[in-house]
């Protein structure tokens, strides 16, 4: 058993930012599934949206976010996050983050940050480090964390479940007391106790067969919070990124929206532009519209992908602005300065999540959630590009401030150690890998970009069968990382289907052919799932 003042699950932008903010106040444990930098954050390309230029304003960033969110954003939350963004960006720069700068100095001769543009943004406002913004964020934050003696990182440790007073049978308000964590190298379960636990576990792209997300994104935080009794909302709003590289050897490689922001044009395989018929912003329309347009174009033509063409821009500009995309594509035999890039939509971002306030507080005392795992009300029915890194920065800071101002008392309750009982080593691991594949394929086929109630109900009944198999496996065999993740993707898949069935309308990312329009009764209404007591 290990005791800390702050237990943080996850080492992406949310977990690391929070850790740096609370470290002066106590001992911090960061538990992370793989290597410390491995996270969705590490793969972020486009950048961080924030108002930093004279041509831009908070009012415009607010307006663009609300428009993308299709009526479901909480305006108060959007305003807070947009307005506090510049201060958090400034702190990130002070910590050592290096954003790309413009070659030309500003009017007063000072250095100017280069601002990118992405879908749904009416102004250039995306701060970036070329096309590897996330890698640079992780580098800067991890370097700052390494200088803090109060922070200990546990790599290759995967949180299994939250420990709550309710689960232990205590009456009264439900408190989070820490988490059970599987040490993959030591092959043992460690009990972490802490008065404050932060879920910073990121999203759930791996629930789908095709995704831009790395392997860590299995929705563990949402599944753990749901099992612990917290409310989870708006899980139907899964954002599909329109442009993931289509190549048999490429796994999850994103072609940033910034490529379209710099003039890249979507075309059919025959070289025809096709976005004109879908939105006045054409290739730079909001993501839900572009992803659906590509899906429709592929279904109409029977093609396996569409093309993204930026060859009309000078090669020097492309190579300098998108060095990682250029090199990676070249590695697959595609020279993006000379030929179009084959792309397809893929699951990218979870707009819903654990219900929190803008300070990260959940319904369970002592449990906070920040970043992609959380549903604060910022994104509504569709996230505006590059708003997620911003949300994580602002909310991690606010959560830390609130916790430090009102410290949570250490609990007197006794936390039992993990019991393996009569569990034995699993004999047929093929069951785990088969169920993994089945869930991801059925989610792609039945709960994808365009939905129907018939397909959702079919998915629901298959998932119920799979859940009972997984449940039996979980309770009879000694835990492994694959089994833990399988259990979580099954739960998150069920939550996505449940929320999609609750919403009788097409809004933002939830497009259901049985309910093609908006339903005014569902304007400003979240779909909320809570585990039956």
Task: Kindly list the catalytic residues.
Answer: 287
- The answer to whether residue 258 forms part of the interface with ligand SIN (CB under 6 A) is yes
Q: Of the two residues 15 and 448, which places its CB atom closer to ligand FAD in the complex?
A: 15
Chain positions 147 to 166 lying near ligand FAD, rule: CB under 6 A, are: 158-159
- The answer to whether residue 131 forms part of the interface with ligand FAD (CB under 6 A) is no
- The answer to whether residue 353 forms part of the interface with ligand FAD (CB under 6 A) is no
Q: Which of ligand FAD, ligand SIN, none binds 21 (CB below 5-8 Å, type-dependent)?
A: none
The whole-angstrom separation of Cα 7 and Cα 494 is: 28
Q: Name which position in 211, 256, 376, 488 contacts ligand SIN (CB under 6 A).
A: 256
- The answer to whether residue 50 forms part of the interface with ligand SIN (CB under 6 A) is no
- The answer to whether residue 385 forms part of the interface with ligand SIN (CB under 6 A) is yes
The whole-angstrom separation of Cα 268 and Cα 296 is: 11
Token pair belonging to 177: 């007391």
Which residue bears the tokens 């609990």?
A: 411
Could you write out the three-class secondary structure of 127-196? ECCCCCHHHHHHHHHHHHHHCCCCEEEECCEEEEEEEECCCCCCCCCCEEEEEEEEECCCCEEEEEECCE
Chain positions 30 to 49 lying near ligand SIN, rule: CB under 6 A, are: 45-46
- Burial class (CB within 10 angstroms; exposed 0-12, middle 13-18, buried 19+) of 414: exposed
- The answer to whether residue 386 forms part of the interface with ligand SIN (CB under 6 A) is yes
- The answer to whether residue 223 forms part of the interface with ligand FAD (CB under 6 A) is no
- The answer to whether residue 527 forms part of the interface with ligand FAD (CB under 6 A) is no
- The answer to whether residue 495 forms part of the interface with ligand FAD (CB under 6 A) is no
Dihedrals phi, psi of 240, to nearest 5 degrees:
-95, 125
Are 80 and 73 in contact by the 8 Å Cβ rule? The answer is: no
Q: Which of ligand SIN, ligand FAD, none binds 119 (CB below 5-8 Å, type-dependent)?
A: none
Token pair belonging to 469: 């198999």
Question: Residue 425: which residues within 8 A CB-CB, separation 6 or more?
Answer: 477, 478
Q: Of the two residues 231 and 291, which places its CB atom closer to ligand SIN in the complex?
A: 291
Run of H or E residues at 314: none
- The answer to whether residue 213 forms part of the interface with ligand FAD (CB under 6 A) is yes
- The answer to whether residue 308 forms part of the interface with ligand FAD (CB under 6 A) is no
Which residue bears the tokens 């993990």?
A: 418
Q: Of the two residues 494 and 505, which places its CB atom closer to ligand FAD in the complex?
A: 494
Q: Which of ligand FAD, ligand SIN, none binds 197 (CB below 5-8 Å, type-dependent)?
A: none
Q: Of the two residues 105 and 323, which places its CB atom closer to ligand FAD in the complex?
A: 323
Q: Of the two residues 38 and 257, which places its CB atom closer to ligand SIN in the complex?
A: 257
| Cα angle for residues 189, 193, 199 (degrees, 5° grid) | 85
Beta strands in 194-269 (DSSP E): 196-199, 232-233, 238-245, 265-267
The whole-angstrom separation of Cα 284 and Cα 122 is: 10
- The answer to whether residue 40 forms part of the interface with ligand FAD (CB under 6 A) is yes
The whole-angstrom separation of Cα 473 and Cα 487 is: 10
Are 400 and 18 in contact by the 8 Å Cβ rule? The answer is: yes
- The CA-based diameter of the chain, rounded to the nearest angstrom, is 72
Run of H or E residues at 468: helix 453-476
Candidate segments 21-29, 54-62, 174-182, 254-262, binder of ligand SIN by CB under 6 A: 254-262
Q: Which of ligand SIN, ligand FAD, none binds 11 (CB below 5-8 Å, type-dependent)?
A: ligand FAD
Other beta carbons less than 10 A from residue 324's beta carbon: 16
Token pair belonging to 384: 């505006």
- Burial class (CB within 10 angstroms; exposed 0-12, middle 13-18, buried 19+) of 109: exposed
Q: Going edge to edge, which strands form the sheet with 157-164?
A: 2-3, 188-193, 176-183, 157-164
Q: Which of ligand SIN, ligand FAD, none binds 234 (CB below 5-8 Å, type-dependent)?
A: none
- The answer to whether residue 350 forms part of the interface with ligand SIN (CB under 6 A) is no
Q: Supply the minimum distance, in Å, between the C-beta of residue 190 and ligand FAD.
A: 12
Candidate segments 11-19, 164-172, 445-453, 500-508, binder of ligand FAD by CB under 6 A: 11-19
Q: Which of ligand SIN, ligand FAD, none binds 64 (CB below 5-8 Å, type-dependent)?
A: none
- The answer to whether residue 14 forms part of the interface with ligand SIN (CB under 6 A) is no
DSSP one-letter code for 34 = S
Q: Supply the minimum distance, in Å, between the C-beta of residue 348 and ligand SIN.
A: 6
Q: Name which position in 5, 7, 8, 14 contacts ligand FAD (CB under 6 A).
A: 14
Which residue bears the tokens 């793969």?
A: 43
Are 17 and 371 in contact by the 8 Å Cβ rule? The answer is: no
- The answer to whether residue 153 forms part of the interface with ligand SIN (CB under 6 A) is no
Candidate segments 56-64, 196-204, 227-235, 421-429, binder of ligand FAD by CB under 6 A: 196-204
Q: Of the two residues 47 and 178, which places its CB atom closer to ligand SIN in the complex?
A: 47
The whole-angstrom separation of Cα 489 and Cα 436 is: 8
Q: Which residues bind ligand FAD (CB under 6 A)?
A: 9-15, 31-34, 38-41, 43-48, 133-134, 158-159, 200-203, 212-213, 216, 220, 254, 349, 371-373, 386-389, 392
């Amino acid at each position: 058993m290990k005791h800390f003042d702050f237990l943080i699950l996850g080492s992406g932008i949310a977990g690391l930012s929070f850790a740096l903010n609370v470290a002066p106040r106590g001992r911090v444990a960061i538990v992370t599934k793989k290597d410390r930098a491995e996270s969705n954050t590490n793969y972020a390309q486009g950048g961080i949206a924030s108002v930093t230029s004279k041509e831009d304003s908070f009012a415009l960033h607010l307006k663009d976010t609300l428009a993308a969110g299709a009526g479901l954003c909480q305006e108060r939350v959007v305003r807070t996050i947009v307005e506090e963004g510049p201060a958090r960006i400034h702190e990130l720069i002070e910590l050592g983050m290096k954003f790309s700068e413009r070659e030309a100095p500003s009017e007063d001769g000072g250095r100017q940050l280069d601002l990118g543009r992405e879908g749904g943004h009416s102004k250039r406002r995306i701060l970036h480090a070329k096309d590897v913004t996330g890698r640079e964020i992780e580098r800067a934050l991890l370097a700052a964390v390494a200088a803090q003696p109060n922070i200990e990182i546990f790599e290759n440790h995967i949180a299994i479940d939250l420990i709550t007073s309710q689960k232990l049978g205590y009456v009264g308000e439900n408190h989070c007391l820490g988490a059970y964590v599987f040490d993959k190298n030591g092959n043992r379960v460690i009990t972490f106790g802490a008065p404050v636990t932060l879920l910073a576990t990121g999203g759930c792209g791996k629930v789908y067969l095709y995704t831009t997300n790395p392997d860590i994104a299995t929705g563990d935080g949402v599944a753990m919070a749901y099992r612990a009794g917290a409310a989870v909302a708006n899980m139907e709003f899964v954002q599909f990124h329109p442009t993931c590289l289509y190549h048999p050897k490429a796994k999850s490689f994103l072609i940033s929206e910034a490529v379209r922001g710099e003039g890249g044009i979507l075309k059919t395989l025959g070289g025809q532009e096709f976005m004109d018929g879908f939105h006045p912003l054409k290739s730079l329309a909001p993501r839900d519209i572009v992803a659906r347009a590509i899906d429709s174009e592929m279904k109409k033509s029977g093609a396996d992908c569409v093309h993204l063409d930026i060859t009309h821009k000078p090669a020097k500009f492309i190579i300098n602005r998108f060095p990682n995309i250029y090199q990676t594509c070249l590695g697959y035999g595609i020279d993006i300065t000379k030929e179009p890039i084959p792309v397809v939509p893929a699951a990218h971002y979870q707009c819903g999540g654990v219900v929190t306030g803008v300070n990260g507080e959940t319904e369970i005392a002592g449990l906070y959630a920040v970043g992609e795992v959380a549903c604060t009300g910022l994104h509504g029915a569709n996230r505006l590009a590059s708003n997620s890194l911003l949300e994580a920065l602002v909310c991690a800071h606010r959560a830390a401030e609130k916790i430090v101002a009102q410290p949570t008392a250490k609990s007197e309750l006794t936390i039992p150690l993990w019991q393996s009982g009569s569990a034995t080593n699993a004999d047929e691991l093929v069951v785990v890998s088969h169920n993994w594949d089945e869930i991801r394929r059925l989610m792609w086929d039945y709960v994808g970009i365009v939905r129907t109630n018939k397909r959702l109900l079919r998915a629901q009944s298959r998932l119920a069968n799979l859940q009972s198999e997984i449940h039996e496996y979980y309770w009879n065999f000694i835990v492994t990382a694959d089994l833990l993740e399988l259990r979580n993707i099954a739960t998150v898949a069920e939550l996505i289907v449940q929320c999609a069935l609750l919403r009788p309308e097409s809004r933002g990312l939830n497009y259901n052919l049985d309910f093609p329009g908006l339903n005014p009764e569902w304007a400003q209404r979240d779909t909320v799932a809570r585990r039956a007591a």
